[in-house]
């Protein structure tokens, strides 16, 4: 799901930045848990549904607004590709078209395959076509996820502090405002940590060694591997000007995702502000961090519906909006990825077996 990455989405991969392993044969325990989570959320989304009202809402929607929403979706994809171009240019000046191809194939894999292997596939696809080291490409994706999470946190602070609270759920939103300052502090702390990691990587790792030594061996290994990826990825950035450009593109990217939500709201005559539309992706981005089935089925729908209810949108309209937004977020990336996979003569099975080393 390109829009939340929605659309892999962003928050989940940033919380799982360690080098991935090759996809194992047969369903893994995490994949089975994810399937169970999606089934449970899908039940929550569909239970007590007034099917006649939902059908009528979908039938009466103004689908003309899907066209500008898709236009913004493709613009966001272009921004994401341009940002990745800045991140990989220390290895090679890769043309935008080839970056778009690898990215689209990765998004498609995330939406169709279990175990969230999309980033493995994405790194492997670019490494294979450009003859680059897979670990080097993957490190750029780690950096990308850092900027994604920081951008989402920025919008979270804006939503919690400035979104007007109204309707029967106003008290809930109002009670969340105190977290705005907390998340602002989290952003400041994360930025400071990244700056120190960029300037003094060895010292930071030495300082963290006593803490890692108290953790179980497996967890300590994963955290240490993640830290190595952060160090390698941040070391790729040539200077503060490049970091500022990537930061600006990241904020613009997530603003476009909010604009997709805002434009699509007109299709269902939902009155929300642009900031309210941004709230949808903030909630959804953290919801999809849960283990779940491919394409974020169920969890995505419940997160979108919950966001709209906090904005005092009716249940039927919220469910209709969630269904169409899911289709816009998932289906284009699947079709685009399959087309690039076929055009490039690549094998999805071979790409998923790639190891980061």
Q: How many CB atoms lie within 10 A of CB 44?
A: 15
Out of 170-184, 236-250, 287-301, pick the least confident. Answer: 170-184
Residue 244, pLDDT > 60, answer yes
Tokens standing for 284?
């959804």
62-67 contact pairs (CB < 8 A, 24+): 62/266, 62/267, 62/268, 62/269, 63/267, 64/267, 65/263, 65/264, 65/266, 65/267, 66/264, 66/267, 66/324, 66/328
Cβ atoms of 41 and 302 within 8 Å: the answer is yes
What pLDDT band is residue 108 in, cutting at 50, 70 and 90? very high
Q: Which residue has the higher pLDDT, 174 or 310?
A: 310
End-to-end CA distance of the chain: 26
- pLDDT for 61 equals 97
Q: Which residue has the higher pLDDT, 238 or 82?
A: 82
Average pLDDT over residues 108-127: 89
- pLDDT for 235 equals 67
What pLDDT band is residue 19 in, cutting at 50, 70 and 90? very low
User: What percent of the chain stands above pLDDT 90?
Assistant: 47
Angle between helices 96-112 and 315-343 (to 10 degrees): 120
Tokens standing for 217?
């061996």
d(CA 300, CA 1): 10
For the chain, how are helix, strand and coil distributed in percent, rounded to 5? 75, 0, 25
Q: Measured on CA atoms in the order 237, 240, 242, 247, is the torsion positive or negative?
A: positive
Which residues lie below 8 Å from residue 198, measured CB to CB, with a gap of 6+? 234, 235, 237
d(CA 256, CA 261): 9
- pLDDT for 305 equals 95
Q: Is 33 helix (H, G, I), strand (E, B) or coil?
A: helix
Cα three-residue angle 154-155-159, rounded to 5 degrees: 125
Average pLDDT over residues 112-125: 87
Residue 290, pLDDT > 70, answer yes
Cβ atoms of 315 and 306 within 8 Å: the answer is no
Average pLDDT over residues 181-198: 74
Model pTM score: 0.82
Q: Is 292 helix (H, G, I), strand (E, B) or coil?
A: coil
Tens digit of each residue's pLDDT (9 = 90 or more) over 138-161: 888 888 888 898 899 889 888 887
Q: What is the mean pLDDT of the chain?
A: 84
- pLDDT for 17 equals 41
Q: Kindly tell me the burial class for residue 294, based on how many C-beta atoms sit within 10 Å of its own C-beta (0-12, 13-18, 19 or more).
A: buried
d(CA 150, CA 145): 9
Tens digit of each residue's pLDDT (9 = 90 or more) over 39-79: 999 999 999 899 999 999 999 999 999 999 999 999 999 99
Tokens standing for 268?
């269902």
Average pLDDT over residues 253-266: 97
- pLDDT for 171 equals 64
Tokens standing for 308?
């709209």
- pLDDT for 99 equals 97
What is the domain partition of the chain in residue ranges? Answer: 2-352
Average pLDDT over residues 79-100: 93
């Amino acid at each position: 799901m390109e829009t939340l990455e929605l659309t892999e989405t962003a928050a989940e991969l940033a919380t799982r930045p360690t080098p991935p392993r090759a996809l194992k044969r047969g369903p893994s325990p995490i994949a089975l848990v994810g399937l169970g989570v999606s089934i449970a959320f899908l039940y929550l989304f569909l239970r007590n549904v007034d099917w006649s009202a939902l059908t009528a809402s979908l039938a009466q929607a103004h689908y003309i607004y899907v066209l500008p929403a898709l236009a913004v979706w493709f613009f966001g994809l272009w921004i994401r590709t341009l940002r990745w171009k800045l991140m990989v240019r220390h290895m090679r000046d890769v043309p935008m078209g080839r970056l778009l191809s690898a990215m689209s194939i990765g998004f498609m894999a995330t939406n169709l395959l279990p175990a969230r292997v999309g980033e493995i596939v994405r790194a492997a696809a670019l490494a294979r076509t450009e003859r680059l080291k897979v670990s080097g490409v993957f490190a750029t994706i780690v950096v990308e996820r850092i900027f994604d999470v920081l951008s989402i946190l920025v919008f979270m602070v804006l939503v919690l502090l400035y979104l007007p609270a109204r309707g029967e759920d106003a008290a809930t939103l109002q009670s969340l405002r105190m977290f705005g300052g907390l998340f602002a502090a989290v952003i400041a702390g994360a930025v400071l940590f990244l700056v120190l990691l960029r300037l003094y990587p060895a010292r930071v790792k030495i300082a963290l060694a006593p803490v890692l030594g108290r953790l179980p061996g497996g967890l300590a290994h994963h955290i240490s591997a993640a830290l190595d990826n952060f160090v390698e990825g941040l070391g790729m950035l040539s200077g503060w000007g490049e970091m500022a450009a990537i930061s600006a593109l990241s904020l613009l990217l997530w603003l476009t995702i909010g604009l997709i939500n805002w434009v699509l709201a007109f299709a269902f005559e939902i009155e929300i502000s642009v900031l309210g539309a941004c709230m949808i992706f903030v909630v959804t981005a953290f919801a999809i961090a849960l283990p779940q089935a491919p394409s974020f089925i169920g969890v995505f729908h419940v997160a979108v519906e919950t966001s709209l209810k906090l904005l005092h949108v009716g249940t039927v309209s919220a469910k209709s909006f969630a269904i169409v937004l899911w289709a816009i977020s998932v289906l284009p990336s699947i079709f685009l990825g399959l087309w690039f996979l076929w055009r490039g003569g690549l094998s999805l099975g071979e790409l998923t077996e790639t190891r980061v080393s």
